[in-house]
């Protein structure tokens, strides 16, 4: 559905982020005005460069505002004059964070700062970017996960996923209480792939980057679900404007789960000589755990070893007419973009 009422303004938080950048591209292409938040306006040139890689040539409808999720100051001013807010930003602490509260407290507070500001500014609807981490962690389900599922906070889970679960719960609680009248829709992406626009991209792409560089001799035994970032942005905009999306969560996933080895095989089949360094074997779990003792990036993989997670996009497709790309297309677009930008 194209925007026909003239240029409404959308606030997009964390404008330098991977999902946020694609939301901005999608909105500008559809004729909206976009106000993007940044922690520092020193990033404006970087963001414009990424957007131009994504096909944007005209920045007339784009403006920037400096505001930080770690404090409430400035959010009211940022939301002023906006019809909608898309909120992908989530504070990401250092991987060496000593306590889970370093993830959880900023994530929960940040969501509440944005929702309060949106409510005060008379915003119609907020679309919050949550995560599969709020749906399928701490549980072991054989059938595909759906929007009815929530991660089990009584179980041990990585702090980032816990922060996404608690911040999404805080958002729904706010809307049910003092935020009544403000509309909320939530998008829960699985592992996000897709064409990178610069060096700022999702965790899921790190694995493909490392495979293409030849940094991995083998891959971990993990089977997971993925989605293309372009489809994630499209789902955010559909959830923003479709009346049926109010009060709903939407899983953003492109199809059946694949193994990391499947992804490696797709890269080799689709990228030819550029994928010569991509590994062709799985590593045993004990070896990954041993490497993780010395490598903090590998440590993040350990909780997912042996995991099999399936997820369904039936709700987004039926309710909003959302049709995601195939996983193979997302994988190859990711790899090709890393090559094109000289990142491998």
CA–CA separation, 44 and 21 (whole Å): 12
Within-domain flag for 203 = no
In a domain, 23, yes or no: yes
Q: Is 75 helix (H, G, I), strand (E, B) or coil?
A: helix
How far is Cα 144 from Cα 253, in angstroms, rounded to an integer? 11
Q: Which residues contact 5 (CB under 8 A, 6 or more apart)?
A: none
Q: What is the pLDDT of residue 3?
A: 47
Residues 237, 125: contact at Cβ < 8 Å?
no
Is 164 an active-site residue?
Answer: yes
The domain in which residue 146 lies consists of: 9-195+226-253+311-319
Structural domain includes residue 77: yes
Q: Is residue 261 part of a domain?
A: no
CB 123 within 8 A of CB 139: no
pLDDT at 50 exceeding the cut of 80: yes
- Measured at the CA of 178, the angle between CA 177 and CA 184, to 5 degrees, comes to 75
Asked if residue 97 has pLDDT above 90, the reply is no
Structural contact between residues 37 and 109, judged by C-beta atoms closer than 8 angstroms: no
Q: State the CB neighbour count (10 A cutoff) for residue 197.
A: 24
Residue with more model confidence, 240 or 6: 240
Please state the rounded mean pLDDT for residues 209-224. 91
Give per-residue pLDDT as tens, 40-49: 999 999 999 9
> What integer is the mean pLDDT of 43-68?
96
End-to-end Cα spacing for the chain:
38
Q: For residue 26, give the CATH number of its domain.
A: 3.40.50.720
pLDDT value, residue 92: 62
Q: Element (H or E) spanning 192, and its range? A: strand 191-193
State pLDDT tens for residues 262-315: 999 999 999 999 999 999 999 999 999 998 898 887 887 887 888 788 999 999
Residue 25 domain-assigned (yes or no): yes
* pLDDT tens figures, 13-40: 999 999 999 999 999 999 999 999 999 9
pLDDT > 90: what percent of the chain?
78
Catalytic residue among 35, 119, 162, 164: 164
Supply the pLDDT for residue 111.
96
> What pLDDT score was predicted for residue 165?
96
Nearest to 316 by CA among 267, 257, 255: 255
CA-to-CA separations, 7 to 3, 119, 173, in angstroms, rounded: 8, 21, 31
pLDDT band at 1 (very low <50, low <70, confident <90, very high): very low
Report pLDDT for 101. Answer: 86
Distances (CA, A) of 326 to 10, 81, 188, 199, 225: 29, 38, 18, 24, 11
Global confidence as pTM:
0.94
Q: Which helix (H) or strand (E) holds 79?
A: helix 75-79
**CA–CA separation, 273 vs 260, rounded Å?**
20
What per-residue confidence (pLDDT) applies to 122? 97
State the pLDDT at residue 6.
66
Instruction: Say how many domains are in the chain.
Output: 1
- Rounded Cα gap, residues 102 and 183, in angstroms: 29
Domain contains 284: no
| Residue with the two structure tokens 């990142």 | 343
Band of the pLDDT at 225, cuts 50, 70, 90? Answer: very high
| Residue 184 domain flag | yes
Angle between helical axes of 18-29 and 229-241 (0-180°, round to 10): 60
How confident is the model over 136-164, as pLDDT tens digits?
998 888 899 999 999 999 998 888 889 99
């Amino acid at each position: 559905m194209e925007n026909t009422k003239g240029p409404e303004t959308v606030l997009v938080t964390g404008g330098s982020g991977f999902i946020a950048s694609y939301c901005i591209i999608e909105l500008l292409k559809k004729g909206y005005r976009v106000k993007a938040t940044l922690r520092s306006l020193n990033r404006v040139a970087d963001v414009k460069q990424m957007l131009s890689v994504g096909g944007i040539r005209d920045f007339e409808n784009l403006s920037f505002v400096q505001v930080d999720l770690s404090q409430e100051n400035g959010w009211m001013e940022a939301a002023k004059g906006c019809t909608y807010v898309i909120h992908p930003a989530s504070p990401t602490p250092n991987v060496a964070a000593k306590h889970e509260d370093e993830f959880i407290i900023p994530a929960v507070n940040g969501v509440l700062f944005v929702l309060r500001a949106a409510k005060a500014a008379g915003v119609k609807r907020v679309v919050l970017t949550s995560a599969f981490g709020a749906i399928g962690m701490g549980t072991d389900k054989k059938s595909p996960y759906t929007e009815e599922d929530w991660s089990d906070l009584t179980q041990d889970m990585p702090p980032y996923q816990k922060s996404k679960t608690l911040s999404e719960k805080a958002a729904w609680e706010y809307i049910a209480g003092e935020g009544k009248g403000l509309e909320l829709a939530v998008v829960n992406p699985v592992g996000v792939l897709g064409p990178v626009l610069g060096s700022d991209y999702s965790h899921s792409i790190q694995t493909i980057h490392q495979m293409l560089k030849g940094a991995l001799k083998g891959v971990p035994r993990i089977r997971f679900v993925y989605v293309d970032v372009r489809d994630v942005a499209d789902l955010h905009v559909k959830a923003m404007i479709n009346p049926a999306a109010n009060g709903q969560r939407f899983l953003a996933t492109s199809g059946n789960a694949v193994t990391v080895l499947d992804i490696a095989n797709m890269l080799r089949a689709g990228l030819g000589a550029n994928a010569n360094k991509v590994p062709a074997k799985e590593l045993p779990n004990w070896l990954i755990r041993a490497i993780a003792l010395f490598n903090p990036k590998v440590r993040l993989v350990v909780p997912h070893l042996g995991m099999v997670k399936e997820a369904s996009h039936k709700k987004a497709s039926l309710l909003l007419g959302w049709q995601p790309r195939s996983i193979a297309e997302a994988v190859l677009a990711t790899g090709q973009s890393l090559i094109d930008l000289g990142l491998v």
